[in-house]
Chains A and B, each alone.
Chain A
């Protein structure tokens, strides 16, 4: 008796080729299709990429603060935290900007994965997608995925020069940056939400209730 895999593929080939094996040519045509970038229609825009990015981010219930230089990150964080009355205890991730930030002694900036009781998590996005106001994360050892999903307030630092027009640009950059495609790529657009109670949106379903973006012009 054939194992499941063999009999499943046999069934597929009966349906697709009348049971014939695929030729080497057919195989390489599909290999090529997989590894050749084919661009379909992409959404157009006349707006400045960063402006559009901010608008889209706000449209999905995010907030933005645009600052100049990494040395203003602490002040921007403080501004948000005091406005939200959150205190100064936070989990901090890693990245080109965040690694340079020096936290004054009154801050308790914990560089560790986030856990279920963490209120504020500050992390740095890998890129932004202007098309939809999306923040892109590629979790690594010092910026793990828990930091994206577990805090109640997620403050995200993003280098404004890393905002790309659309998803296809992101894929291109990831391919250039990574020899092996990363284990996880997380596209986050606004805070966590659910419509499961009366089809009406409530924020903070499982992930962050609020997402605050600190956009840094480096």
Chain B
């Protein structure tokens, strides 16, 4: 087993043994799923809308170069600037350069997965800038020196008690003497602390849910309003987004907005949907940034275009596949060891970060197919995970012993009559061992099963054997 795999298994064991995590995950799970179900039941056009959403994305991806050019032209017309980054490193360097050259000291951030992907905070902090995450969930994980464990609910793994302790530790020096433990108080305290950061911030950095080619707008969707305070108050606004975020027009945006919130949280629409299209006009506006920058990040995306993974570029980061994933719901996001966890993350991470260090992601999945069913842009996630497994097999990244036994099994399956003869004995032995109690308590080489489960005892003879003996009677 390679180091990465050992590490993965270690993280899984820790997650399963972490009572607070298990409590938090158990609590979160049902809500997302039920709210989504309810929202869809109330919106008969949902499925039609998801088909339209998929088609729009497919169309854009086939013409991505052209759409990006149109979008860029529009942003420039609006007075903004567009920067292009091939890699994570290039992207964070561009943003760091913009911040440093403008003399920024304090930077507020809206929730942005791509900024996590390019390790932006680290880069900015190294340059001596203070970075404040303003989404409450992101703020909580930032205080805890952690990474988000969910793409739309970054602190889903934290219990109220843990948040309460974190706030006490970090806010006490700021003059908040009392420990707050009620939800309302926690939210109020965060509001109060973050308000000052918003007005003191030099630069606001957000991601984008969508980029509109027609208008050159970046669209952010939030419930808290933090993304807007981040966008509107500082003197410079920087939007960091993947190149796949562009969509043609405002009407297309409406299609996505109708499926996004319903899939993510079961809302019809999030509390705030904002379109920002450039810096403030010279004199007329009292508010809005003086400079508006968009940093468009490739980081592996262009190599997914035209490949069997192209459909992954349709992803709108709604998080529904995480919420519905059986494995995600028991191990939480951190166990994946990637900022994109769950089904979408298990597809995306090896494409961005390579297979070698991420062999477990595609395998630690039951392929139960639910993520495909609920994906609002119809990404065939299980098929893509299976493609990853095929890649690993081709590159012999899987353990030798596994491949060896597998070869024997395939040999037998392809010779059904011989298969019956060979398997008759082990089946008979298992039956002898287990028939008194109905189960077998331990099977060597199958500890993975028998350490935690009994193995139900098989019949003494296979179906085929019994059938051959009795088929005449049956057909009579």
Name A residues whose Cβ lies closer than 8 Å to a Cβ of B. 3-5, 7-9, 11-13, 15-16, 22, 26-27, 30-31, 33-35, 37-44, 56, 60, 113, 115-116, 131-132, 134, 139-141, 144-146, 148-150, 166-168, 171, 180-200, 202, 204-208
Contacts and interface: CB of A to CB of B under 8 A. Distances in A.
Most buried by A among B48, B188, B287: B287
Given A181-B217, A183-B281, A202-B184, A192 B271 contact: yes
B21 interface: no
Contacts of B361: none
A39 B281 CA distance: 31
B335 interface: no
Contact of B65 (A7, A12, A31): A12
A84 B28 CA distance: 33
B286 A206 contact: no
Nearest to A27: B66
Most buried by A among B66, B68, B153, B277: B66
Interface stretch (B114-122, B247-255, B467-475): B247-255
A183 B225 contact: no
Most buried by A among B24, B27, B217, B223: B223
A182 B78 CA distance: 9
Contacts of B306: 15-16
A52 to B, nearest CB: 12
Given A149-B232, A197-B187, A206-B229, 14 more contacts: A9-B69, A11-B303, A12-B64, A30-B70, A30-B248, A31-B70, A34-B67, A56-B268, A181-B277, A188-B272, A189-B269, A205-B136, A205-B225, A207-B271
Nearest to A148: B228
B314 interface: no
B32 interface: yes
Contacts of A15: 302-303, 305-307
Contact of B287 (A26, A145, A204, A205): A145
B256 to A, nearest CB: 10
A8 B305 CA distance: 12
Contacts of B137: 194, 196
B19 interface: no
A135 to B, nearest CB: 11
Contacts of A198: 24, 27-28, 159-160, 183
Nearest to B187: A202
A38 B279 CA distance: 29
A26 B271 contact: no
Most buried by B among A22, A40, A198, A206: A206
A113 B153 CA distance: 32
A202 to B, nearest CB: 4
Nearest to B265: A195
Nearest to B216: A181
B376 interface: no
Contact of B66 (A30, A167, A204): A30
A197 B243 contact: no
B273 to A, nearest CB: 4
A197 B228 contact: no
Contacts of A22: 65-66
Nearest to B287: A144
Contact of B64 (A16, A33, A134, A195): A16
A189 B272 CA distance: 6
A12 B287 contact: no
A16 B63 contact: yes
A115 B199 contact: yes
